[in-house]
Chain A
């Protein structure tokens, strides 16, 4: 038995990809999900703010997932939950294991990798001090609180001002905890401005920019104090600036890492800037017929964009199975000044219908500025922006008609301050 398409991961990326592949004509599709239900991380993101772009209304995480799960009900897409994928091979075998059927090797004509990302932990950022209970990643605390029904602490300090940390500051406060501070090592927040306002300012929680946690102390095995210090421009703690916080819990919101063990295991070419696969304009990886989408490719800040990108991958997987094409040479997208990465990294111009959508992040905060796409010294297009921060993903659309005029084999995306 051979599936047309196996989708690895049933979170927002996998759901949108499977729906889109079905819409484009594939019928024999399987989603493999390791949790007990579909929806992925959205199930624990009970706050609202999802779907403003996609559905033009403000949904909670579970409601956003519900919309996509409902769409699947009218299709022949099969779902295997509580099942772990152990390996994906170059010839599109998917090795899976679950308690019901044991170890199975499933064959597919195309594979979509949509495994999402994982949180960086205390180990990844090497905080000195004791190693007591009470140190959690913000996402695991979120799951405990919102799904499993455990309150993780009473007096809380949050390290990192990414969106999950900000959301958890509000959530812990509403559930009766005292959030003493949100501490950010960078001089700007990694989260969305709206979350600073509605999660910190609404509840008078102080945000310490250019600060970090420099010591963790414990009493009887539980966190008792953290020390917070100011950092200099090269992010080194400044002696004499220490502040002590009397708290029992430290939540870490210090970044996300795409979960790419399967991708690497398959021998797919990776991008060290995104920690995800190098992808073409249709989200195809270096193995023809294997696609990747969502946070496993690069970390997004809005699920709406994950859905958009994943629908593209789903449609492309259907096209791969139903209308096989010859491979052709690709244009490279390079990052110039101020740009830290682009997705896609490679473009086959003939496969673009009208516009090439490019996602990227900037390296630093920019005020009024211009994003430029250049073929050597020739300007292809430019886009004005009022304000850009590394915390907010940027999106531009390059028209096919402009890309057709490119002479070289690379296009550079860069930022110029206005």
Chain B
């Protein structure tokens, strides 16, 4: 039995995941919590948010995120990849910055019009 705090929403439910019984989750108050509990044991993932260099915009950085949750172990590799990117204004929300970043299947997309 593993105890976790769910991070899907700000409620912070205290989950218990039964590793010996098909990763059954208890303590969750929604279905997303059950999914989180199972994934957190088998393959923990996070949505990564960061910034990339921006030229010609109101500010010098443009905020970005991964379009889906990516394996925790890849976060620092993705940050490295972002360090090589320079965008030029104008940038719009949802614009793809890096496709299939580090082979995760997720894209890095801009999160602000600049």
Contact = CB atoms under 8 A, between A and B. Distances in A.
A62 B72 contact: no
Interface string B39-73: 00000001111110100001111010100000010
A149 B86 CA distance: 13
B45 to A, nearest CB: 11
Given A46-B111, A66-B112, A66-B113, A149 B72 contact: no
B81 interface: no
B93 A63 contact: yes
B7 interface: yes
Contact of B10 (A46, A47, A301): A301
A36 B51 CA distance: 20
Contacts of A47: 49
| Chain A interface extent, by class | 20 to 34
A74 interface: no
Interface in A295-340: 301-302
Contact of B59 (A60, A147, A196): A147
A283 B53 CA distance: 41
Contact of B7 (A37, A66, A197): A197
A61 B64 CA distance: 11
Nearest to B93: A66
Given A46-B49, A46-B111, A58-B47, A197 B5 contact: yes
Contact of A52 (B10, B47, B51): B10
B59 A149 contact: yes
A198 B112 contact: no
A147 B58 CA distance: 9
Contact of A194 (B6, B47, B93, B113): B6
Interface in A8-36: 36
Interface string B2-20: 0011111110100000000
B1 interface: no
A175 interface: yes
B76 to A, nearest CB: 8
A192 B60 contact: no
A137 to B, nearest CB: 19
5 pairs of A and B residues whose beta carbons are closest in the complex:
A193-B12, A149-B60, A62-B112, A46-B63, A194-B7
16 contacts: A36-B58, A48-B49, A52-B10, A60-B49, A62-B63, A62-B112, A66-B112, A145-B51, A149-B60, A149-B61, A174-B48, A174-B75, A193-B12, A197-B4, A197-B7, A301-B10
